[in-house]
Amino acid sequence: MNFTHDTTDAAAQPDVGVSAGQFRTMAELGGDIAFSIALPGFQLRYLSPAFTTLLGHDADALRESLAAPGAGGPLAVLAACLREVAGAAPGERRSTELDVPDAGGRPLPLEVLSIVPTETPATLVGLLRDLSPRRAQQAEQKRFASMLNHEFRTPLATIDGAIQRLEATAVNADEPTRQRYRKIGAAVDRLIGMLDEYLSPDRMAALGKARQANTMAVNELVEAAAAQVRAAGREARVDTGAHAFQLRGEPAGLRLALKVLVDNALAFSPPGTPVALAVRPAAGGVEIAVRDEGGGIPPEDAAFIFDKGYRGSNAADLPGSGLGLYMARSILDVHGGSVLLAPAREGEKATEFRLWLPSSEDSGQQQLASGSSSSDNRSRAPDLDARQDTNNMANP
């Protein structure tokens, strides 16, 4: 089949400097399949040769499916998807995942990345991306997580049972001994809680079923942190300003990073004191500050608190593994962000962590919170779950 190729070159578009053919070549370097479909007639103008290599179908098969919607055939699902995304507003980028049968009838997972450029004549252009490597990686992650879940849960169950027997039978044990039993039991509960939260079969089964959200509003993130503070029976002082920031990233990971900072603020400040959460624009992104009214970070620990496994001098009597702040920093690194300990203000010992993330400000969204400072002291039952392993300012 012969296709009409777009011959617009750099002479016609001096600001671009490369031809349409060069653009296609660049798009296909990573193994993706480029396509171009003229609208509104859905005439296939270009399709990468890699389409036939990957799926075993030739371009004529896709052309026929586009020309006869509802006629069935192995590429009917792909043609229907292309027709649907062609209805997007000009300039709107679409991403769709679907399974397309190859020539042998085996389903092949594909991601369809598409856009209808604002230029005329109207054209649907985009890429077809093979998701098989990503699906295989997700399956391996689930297998590995399932193995970890089993290998850790079995010895933890043994330890838990032994501690329960010791507590039940050691009737003559002194109070320090009983406290040690309870401490071991609480540590086991924390670890089992982490397995339930991060490595449970339900959580693993959810991976890969649907495309995960990759954006969230800062107000959602901050409100979740404020709810955590209130659940501990503390006052959350929230100052979001008059901005509507959108963050690009994995919401669960971002919530976990901020949760670590709030856990530390709760653990290292006196009961009854407030925890302040502030949002402000900074350096092309957004900064979220978490401030407590505790005793501050010992100067000798300040340079090491984000190190893996580091426990500060003020953490000797608290549970923890020294991983919380390290984990928070790692999550933010992945998202192109950062976290730092703010310099102490003169005459104050309070601690303030500042989390920075790249963002965009969406003027069409509802403003964060009320757009002004707020203070509340809604007393709720403290969270007595001993499964938190991140309550350590110098022992993340």
**Res 241: pLDDT:** 80
pLDDT per position as a tens digit, 117-134 = 998 889 999 999 999 998
Q: What is the mean pLDDT of the chain?
A: 77
Rounded CA separation 350/268 (Å): 10
Over residues 174-197, the mean pLDDT reads 83
Our measurement of the distance from residue 88's CA atom to the centroid of its chain's CA atoms, rounded to an integer in Å, reads 26
Do residues 385 and 308 lie in contact, with contact meaning Cβ atoms separated by under 8 Å?
Answer: no
**Res 361: pLDDT:** 57
**In this structure, are strands 123-130 and 373-375 parallel, antiparallel, or unpaired?**
unpaired
Reference 258, options 286, 296, 299; nearest CA is 286
pLDDT(372) > 90: no
Looking at per-residue pLDDT, the higher value among 141 and 19 belongs to: 141
Over residues 76-86, the mean pLDDT reads 94
**Res 367: pLDDT:** 31
Confidence of residue 380 (pLDDT cuts 50, 70, 90): very low
Cα separations in angstroms, 239 against 48, 106, 117, 275, 358: 52, 54, 40, 11, 19
pLDDT(393) > 60: no
**Res 323: pLDDT:** 73
Cα separations in angstroms, 352 against 82, 139, 196, 265, 294: 50, 40, 31, 9, 10
Confidence of residue 200 (pLDDT cuts 50, 70, 90): low
Confidence of residue 386 (pLDDT cuts 50, 70, 90): very low
**Res 316: pLDDT:** 55
Looking at per-residue pLDDT, the higher value among 364 and 330 belongs to: 330
Confidence of residue 312 (pLDDT cuts 50, 70, 90): low
pLDDT(14) > 80: no
**Res 317: pLDDT:** 59
Looking at per-residue pLDDT, the higher value among 213 and 360 belongs to: 360
**Res 123: pLDDT:** 93
Taken as a whole, the chain contains a residue count of 396
Rounded CA separation 329/247 (Å): 16
Q: 6-10, 237-241, 286-290, 295-299: which range is least confident on average?
A: 6-10
pLDDT per position as a tens digit, 43-56 = 999 999 999 999 99
